[in-house]
Every structure is written in C-alpha cells, then in structure tokens.
Structure 1
Amino acid sequence: MTRAPLERAAHLARWVVLATCVGAAAGMLSAAFIEALDWAGRTRGDSAWLVWLLPLGGLAVGASYHYLGKGLERGSNLLIEQIHGHTRWIPVRMSVLIFVCSVVTHVVGGSAGREGAALQLAAGVTDPVSKRLGLRQADRAVMLVAAIAGGFGSVFGVPVTGAVFALEVQRVGRVRHEAIVPAFVASFVGDAVVRGIGMEHTHFPTVPAFTWDAALAAGLLLLGVAGGLAAMAFVGLTHSVREVLSRRVAWYPARPLVGGVIVAALVLALDWRDYSGLSLHLASNAFGGSVEGDSWAKLLLTAVTIGSGFVGGEFIPLLVTGALMGAGLADIIGADVALFAMAGALAVLAGATNTPVAMMILGMELFGGGGAAVFAVACVTAYACSGHKGIYHAQPVSAHKSGVRE
C-alpha cells in the first residue's frame, strides 16, 4: 500500500475526530440553549408585564457587549469574516454573551430567533481549540464551518440542512469542498447529542397533497417573488434601523434601550404580544391551514429588535414572516394555505440567507420530501429576486446570481 492513501486516510480520520468533538460540543450547548429559551418563553407567557422591561433588557444587552465583548456584536458575520481571513480569535466569551443575552432578549419580549446564537455558541468553543492546536488558517476555517453546521443542525434538528447551510452560507457562489466531511459529521453528531439528551424539536405537519398545474406554478412564482422582496425589505429595514441609531445614539448600550422602547410601544399599543419572542405558534397554525397574523408585523418587530442591538438571530422570525405571508397570499388567490405557508417560509429564508439549496432541504426535513419541487420553485425564485445583500452581510460574493463570476 502506497504512502499517499495512508496519509489521506489519516487526514480524513483526523477531521472526523475533530468534527465529532465540535458536533458534540455544539449539541450540548444547543440542548442547554433550547431549554433556556423554552423557560424564557414560558416565563414571558406567564408574566405579561415583562414586556415593560424591554428597554432595561436592551440596556443590559448593549452594556454587556460594549464592556465585555467589543466587536463580538457582529455575531454570525464575525464567524464568516474569520472563515475568509484571520483578524482575531473568537473567544469563549462569545458563547457566554450570546447565551445570556439571547435569553434576556426572549424573556422580555424581543422578536428574535435562535440560529445566530447556536452558531456563535458552537464557534465560541471551537475557535479557542483551533488556537490551542495551532491550526493554520485554512484548517481553522474548516473548523468554523463545522461549528456552524453543528450549531445549526443541532438547534433545529435538521442535520442535513445544517451541513449544507454551513457550506453554502460562508460564500455566495462557492461551496468550500474541503469542509464537506467535517460539516456533515459535526451536524449529525450535534443533532444526535441533542436527541440523545432527550430534547424535542417542534414538529410540523407534512406537506399536503397537491397537483401540478399552471395555476400552482404561477402562484409559486408569485410567492417566490414576494418572498425575495420581503427578504430585501427586512434586510434594508434592519440596516436602516442600525444606521439611524448608530448616527443618532453615540453610546452603544443606549441603542438597544431605544429599540426596546420602540418594540414595547408597538407591542403594547397594537397588542402585538403574539409577535414577541419566536412566535413559532403562528407559523405552526399557518402550516396547519390557518390564515391569521400579519407578516409585516413580525418583520417590523424583528427588524427593530435586531437592528437596535438585541441578539438571538433572525432565522425563526423570518420563517414565521414567510409562513404568514404565504398563507395570506394563498387566501387571496385561492391556493392551498398550508402548502403556500410552507413554501413561503422557505422562500423568505432563501432570499434572506442566500442559501437556496439549504432551504429546499430544510423544507424536506421539516415537512417531508413530497414538497421538494414546490420548495425548489419558491426558494430559487426568491433567491433570484432578493439581491446579493442578505442578513449575513459579511458573505463574500464569488458569483452573481445571474451566473456571472466576479
């Protein structure tokens, strides 16, 4: 046996071991985080008065990052930046801050998600290991991709999506092939750890039966365009909130304080309590065929929450936004509400994250493979209509969506 195959086998085994460790750590952290967010949701539901603490919660989150985590407020974008070039090591402190501050965001009623937190939780314990092992930048980048995969796959219970998302999100137009094995290993191990601990993920209905015809195809194209435009609107509004506050409010901790005042005012004045926190029940109802809730309300609250400096992530709020949008559109054009809610959720996510393939797979893992073609039409259309700027603005663009390589 020649030396080259042995070296390749040893190299592969090394990455399997490293990715297994990354996935195990990500899974344990995700399990703890899921439990903490469940507690936050129950506590907020039992104590409606907590919404009055949104400004104070914002001040606490802002002060924590200002004094203890300068630069770490870039969140998941910092991870993407470090994949493409070393400018700083990501400290364990990132994991601590994102865990605590995400729980604070949710318990007081901020409209945020959990995917961003899960990615940062995993990266915050992975990068110090890379530093300790003295990994070169190329290997460190693979470790970070594995951390993203482990965090995403474990926190949502979607191991295939977790791996594909990590490979796709780090650059628009190019997959990091050397990270494929570590990403899949970390994502599957992370998911197995969460399930082994006994944590349960939200279960959604399976995709309803449908028949392809011209009306369905036209409706899905319209839904995809709407999803892409909604993604652009969210990205633009979040950026505008961030820019206005950075210009008008010099002291960083006061920005989420102001955001907390705005969110609390909207929730109390318009009775938008259903749009606080994850709001997954709204999406679940839409997936079950119910038409209730306003997609723009969830979009607006999330943009103000995240844009002002609260943390947690945008993924689930955008899923909810897309589900409500899809259900509303289906009601208008006479399409299947549940089917369009599912496709709408994926469409908005595909446009906002620039990860259409991952979102198609997410649809199959959440709702079943029977809707693969429907999900593909909605996701690709939304991706094509959403522009290059997404919620992860640090994503480099290797190829334009038109197919022209930069």
Structure 2
Amino acid sequence: MSLRWDIREHASLGYFVLRWLCITAPLGALVGSSVAFFLWLLHQATLTRWQHPELLYFLPLAGVVIAYAHHRWGKNVAAGNNLIMEQIHEPGGGVPKRMLPFVLFSTVLTHLFGGSAGREGTAVQMGGSIAQALGCFLRLGKNDTKILLTCGIAAGFGAVFGTPLTGAIFALEVLSLGSMRYDSLIPCFMASIFGNLVCAAWGIHHTQYSITAASLHMGGVVAHITPVIALKVVCAAVLFGLVGFVFAELMHTLSGLFKRVVPAYWLRPVVGAGLVLGISWALGTQDYLGLGVTTASGAGSSIVNAFHGTGVSSWSWFWKLLLTAITLSCGFKGGEVTPLFFVGAALGSALAGLLGLPVDLMAGLGFIGVFAGATNTPLACTLMGVEVFGGQYLPYFAMTCFFAYLFSGHSGIYLSQRVDAPKCAGLSGRDSSLRDVRQGKDSLFMKLLKRGE
C-alpha cells in the first residue's frame, strides 16, 4: 500500500490554526483584560466590606437595585451561563452585549454588601458577551460563532482561575454530558491561554494552594496507589458527588420556591438577604459571606484554612452551601464555583480525620470533587487538580472526579447542559437537557416540601 498524503488537507489544517489564532488572540486579550478588571474590583469590594462591616446592613437594598436593574433593562441576560450554552447548542438571538456590564457590576455589588457567591459565572458570561460581539464584528457564520462562544467560556474560565488547560477542557465538557466537540479544542485552548496570559500581565495573582501529604511518603513523579487509600478516596468521592447534587438541587428548588412564595421580584432578594444575614448572625460569624477564599483576620472558616485543618468545623461546608444557594436563588449575581471549592475543601478537611488521610490531600480532593459533581465536568476538574496542586496525586484526582461525577446523578448547576450519553446504561435522558430531565420528575426537595404541606 502506497503512502497517502494530500497536501491540501494539511494546508487546510494549517489555515484553520492560523485563522483561529488571529481570532482568539484579540478575544483572549479582551476577555483577559475584562476579567482582570473584574477581579481587581472584586478584591477592592471585599477589602471595603472587611473594613466597613456595617455595609452588610445594606445587602437587602443592594438586592433591590440588582433586581430592578435586571427587571427593567436586563431581562434577556438573566439566564446567565445557561443562555450562552443555549446559544451554542441552538443559535438564536445571540448573547446580548449588555450582559457584560450587568453581570460585572451586579456581582461586585453582591460581594460588596456580603452576599455569598463566586466569580466564575461572571467571568464566563463576560467571555460569552465579548465573543458574541467579536463574532458579529467579524461577521462569522453560525458554526464559527458557536466555536467562538465556546472560546469565550474557555478564556473567561482560564483567566479567572489561572488554569488555562482546565478552561479549555471545561468549555468543551460543560456543554454536554458524555461528549465533546473536538473541532473547538484548538481554538478554546488558544483563547484560554491568551486570556490567562493577559490577565496575569495586568498584575492579577491567584491564590496558591499546595498538597504535601508528607505522612503518605509518596515518592516518584506520580503517587503510588494503594488499595486501602483508593477505597477511602472512592468513599469520599461518592460523598462529594452527593453534596454536589444537593447543592444543585437546593439552588434550583429555592429559586422556584422564591418565585412561588414571593411574587414581587424586588422583594425576593430582600427576603434572601434577610435569611443570609440572619443565619450569619445566629452562627456568630461572617466567614460564610463573600468568596470565602480567606477571611479578614486570616483565621476562621475559609478555603485556605481548610488545607491546614484550622478554622473549619464539621459543618462549615453545609453553611457555605446553604448561604450560597440562598444568595444565588433569590436574585443576587455571581458564580457558584468558588463556593463549591469552599464546600468541597471544608468537607474534605472534615473527612480527613475519619478516613485517616492527610488534611491537605482531602481538602484538595474535595476542592475538585464537589465541583466535578455539581458541573458534570470530571475531565476538566481532574486537570484543575494538576494545574492547581501539581501532578503527583493525579490518580487520586481522577478517581475523585470520576466517581463524584457519576454519583451526582443527572443533576447540575447548569440546566442547559445536554445529555448526549446517560451516566450509565438504563438511565433515561438522552438527547435532552438537564432542565428537561429535571422537569420530568419532581426534585427531592420539592417532594419533601409537598409532603410537608
């Protein structure tokens, strides 16, 4: 058999790479700069709230402002990440340009006055808005626009967390359960790289975490897997997946409950803010407000302290989960991922003593495991473990994320995710969205509510 080589094929591939290099470079620069500005504003808002704790009393008023602004001028941006995903699956009206300023300042207001929220959703939505505007300017076709929107997700995620490889895979994996479109792989990778580089060039620094797990004495490049430790990690991963399921279902259920019980759109964030502040007051701490990466004093419950096993209690993960679900379901804006990091790290830290494993290892596994379960992105979360903590514990990262993904079921924080392949044979949901799957059966929490009526 003779060697077959069609030079036109490789010329086309080369042109594809060069073309998308020229498109993703400005996209990454714009998204990276926007994310850098957003992270700077968020840092200033957090410092201001720490210096002036009396700002917490204005959280209900901030909620009214956010709700009114979105009701009056931003109804078409309320769907957030789900809107971007829907436009990738079935292009329609596009992602509005106004999404960027709306989500940016709404998130900063949420954090300034003490809402419990994250930042990933904001960065992704900013990336999608910029990508849509760039696509219109370049007059791209339908398929290229879908790729560019996916690149916007990658650039936003990669820049906001400083994890470019994770950003690229997350953008591909988050769209559908069980499949990825590889025609977007190279463009997403380039967009995420550019976004991260530009964000870093603006002087933005990300929190550094590490896992030493010295007591395991694991030498070599990749940690050796032992049956006992593997079994313990799998048991923890199942729990991480279940907690991811609980977070997603609780957030969706509370959102519907707020709309049903509080018909006035502007009153929902007032009620939600009252609950958030009331629970914080009852707990006697403000540690569960804001991002939760660290605290004003450095002590108390935070992601950083979870890796040292200090400041976090056995229930710290639950309180962060509850306050974040209330904050985001009643009308405040922000992401879910950083709170999920808090929930996972705190839960892993609490499990470390029970399982006899190092605290920093378990906090790291929880960090990525709950995230994998709630977003249905096991590959991206495994890579995040490598980018954030290093590659030595890769087998345990993969084990955690894969089992957490499986046991979170057909649930997730993004209802526009498509189910291209159910998580195991015999389960329904193929060719539908998580929203369709969820509407086909009452959620666990809605069943409990109805039973109590």
Q: TM-score range by the shorter chain?
A: over 0.9
Encode CA deviations 1:160-207: one digit per residue, 9 max, x unaligned: 111111111111111111110110000001111111121111111234
Please list, as runs of the form range in 1=range in 2, the aligned pairs for 1:111-190 lying within 5 A after superposition. Answer: 111-190=116-195
Aligned to 1:270: 283
Identity of aligned residues (%): 38
User: Which of residues 258, 262, 286 in structure 1 aligns to 2:306?
Assistant: 286
Shift of 1:133: 2.6
Aligned to 1:334: 356
Aligned to 2:327: 305
Instruction: For 1:218 and 1:62, locate their aligned partners in 2 and report how far apart those are by CA, in whole Å.
Output: 47
Aligned to 1:77: 82
- 3-state SS, counterpart of residue 273 of structure 1: coil
When the two chains are superposed, the root-mean-square deviation of aligned CA atoms in Å is 1.6
Shift of 1:39: 0.4
Instruction: For 1:64 and 1:21, locate their aligned partners in 2 and report how far apart those are by CA, in whole Å.
Output: 30
Instruction: For 1:299 and 1:239, locate their aligned partners in 2 and report how far apart those are by CA, in whole Å.
Output: 13
Uncovered stretches (5+) of structure 1, i.e. residues with no partner: none
User: Which of residues 221, 235, 242 in structure 2 aligns to 1:222?
Assistant: 235
- 3-state SS, counterpart of residue 247 of structure 1: helix
Encode CA deviations 1:347-383: one digit per residue, 9 max, x unaligned: 1000000000100110111111111111111111111
- 3-state SS, counterpart of residue 71 of structure 1: helix
User: Which of residues 110, 115, 119 in structure 2 aligns to 1:110?
Assistant: 115
Shift of 1:250: 2.3
Instruction: For 2:360 and 2:38, locate their aligned partners in 1 and report how far apart those are by CA, in whole Å.
Output: 29
Shift of 1:4: 4.7
User: Which of residues 17, 36, 40 in structure 2 aligns to 1:12?
Assistant: 17
Please list, as runs of the form range in 1=range in 2, the aligned pairs for 1:83-98 lying within 5 A after superposition. Answer: 83-98=88-103
TM-score under structure 2 length normalisation: 0.87
User: Which of residues 396, 399, 417 in structure 2 aligns to 1:374?
Assistant: 396
Which amino acid counterpart does residue 242 of structure 1 have in structure 2? S
Shift of 1:291: 6.0
Uncovered stretches (5+) of structure 2, i.e. residues with no partner: 1-5, 219-224, 295-301, 432-453
Shift of 1:276: 0.4
User: Which of residues 181, 198, 204 in structure 2 aligns to 1:199?
Assistant: 204
Instruction: For 2:311 and 2:51, locate their aligned partners in 1 and report how far apart those are by CA, in whole Å.
Output: 26
Name the one with the larger helix percent: 1
Aligned to 2:258: 245
- Conserved? CA contact 2:151–2:187, under 8 Å: yes
- 3-state SS, counterpart of residue 274 of structure 1: coil
TM-score under structure 1 length normalisation: 0.96
Encode CA deviations 1:84-114: one digit per residue, 9 max, x unaligned: 0122121221000011000000011111000
Shift of 1:236: 1.1
Shift of 1:130: 1.3
Asked whether 1:28 is paired with 2:33, we answer yes
Instruction: For 1:342 and 1:28, locate their aligned partners in 2 and report how far apart those are by CA, in whole Å.
Output: 29
- 3-state SS, counterpart of residue 98 of structure 2: helix
